Amino acid sequence: MRAVEIAEPGGPDVLRCVDRDLPRPGPGEVLIRVSHAGVNRPDCLQRAGHYPPPDGASDIPGLEIAGEIVARGDGVDAGELGKRVCALVNAGGYAEYCLARPEHCLPVPDGLSMAEAAAIPETLCTVWHNVFQRGYARDGEVLLVHGGTSGIGTMAIKLAKLFGLDVIVTCGSDAKCDAAREIGADHAINYKTEDFAQRVRDITGGRGCDLVLDMVAGEYTQRNLDCLAEDGRIVVIATLGGAKSTVNIIKLMMKRQSITGSTLRARSDVFKGMLADELFREVWPSVEAGELRPCMDRTFALEEAAAAHARMEAREHIGKIVLDVGGDG
């Protein structure tokens, strides 16, 4: 099979398309013939040598795929064969075939393209777990999302609006602010020209937002707390601004605020299966009805994975970048 491997830690140019042996599904696994694969920032971190795959996982990058189940390991029902699915995987997505667990797969409904399907699992799982499970978001609350036009940011806008939240986002340009509002954000703040913390307080009449989905951390942490309402929550999912923060704990205590965070890749197969099951019950009906679709940026051929990474790292994208692996539509 064709696959993209990381020749050595480095920039996008270290990605190369090679021939690899087909993986064989072990007990409880299925083999998926990949149509499309999502591109995510953790893939870039892995390529740079900062985010190694879990023990026993493939060295091939790629955390989400869409395709057809073509083989099964011991213990997997024969009825899984032939299903069109999208799947959250630990690694191996940048290839013509990839292993997954059936409990981490979701069915691709009619009307959802395989490119769109590949853009869903990682972002949907991340947003659902962090905004709703860890952040305890409730309808009527105000959510602040940093990186509003990223793959995570655009999914957060769409999912939050679907469940009745008001959404404020930050973006790096006026054009991206306009795009975020078109996607569904109620307010968009250009963080390069405005103080986002002050703008959030202005928008909310001084009350502040209830929840922050933060992929920046660093010096943003205290600024997030400053525009957070009483009993507000911050959920950190990335540290683009640095891994260390200094915060005023007295202010946090006085307003009963909380900070939490998570990573998804390292969680157990059982946890990921439970997450997929909850998404199937709570969110997938909206996908099947056409009410929830990922915001798509650009599709690159598998051999153009380096260009896809370069686009992501230049922060030029609005929505999801995907790789066309099998050309199945």
Instruction: Write the CATH number for 227.
Output: 3.40.50.720
Q: How far is CA 200 from the centre of its chain?
A: 24
Q: How far apart are CA 61 and CA 176, in angstroms?
A: 28
Are residues 179 and 80 part of one domain? no
Are residues 239 and 128 part of one domain? yes
Examine the pLDDT at 296 and tell me if it is beyond 60: yes
Are residues 218 and 234 part of one domain? yes
Looking at the structure of the chain, the number of domains it has is: 2
pLDDT score, position 328: 56
Q: Determine contact, residues 105/84, Cβ cutoff 8 Å.
A: no
Give me the chain's average pLDDT, please: 96
Last residue of a domain, one of 228, 245, 261: 261
Cα–Cα distance list, 184 to 13, 162, 295, 307 (Å): 35, 10, 11, 28
**Which residues neighbour 43 within 8 Å (Cβ) at sequence distance 6 or greater?**
61, 62, 63, 94, 309
The per-residue pLDDT for range 15-26, each reduced to its tens digit, is 999 999 999 999
Positive or negative torsion for Cα 96, 99, 101, 102: positive
Residue 162 corresponds to which tokens in the numbers above? 């679907």
Examine the pLDDT at 152 and tell me if it is beyond 90: yes
For the residues 105-133, what does the mean pLDDT come to? 97
Are residues 30 and 88 part of one domain? yes
The per-residue pLDDT for range 46-69, each reduced to its tens digit, is 999 999 998 889 999 999 999 999
Instruction: Pinpoint the alpha helices (H) of 72-173.
Output: 114-118, 121-127, 151-162
Are residues 153 and 257 part of one domain? yes
Read off the pTM: 0.94
Q: Is residue 329 part of a domain?
A: no
pLDDT score, position 266: 87
Range of 147's domain? 123-261
Examine the pLDDT at 329 and tell me if it is beyond 90: no
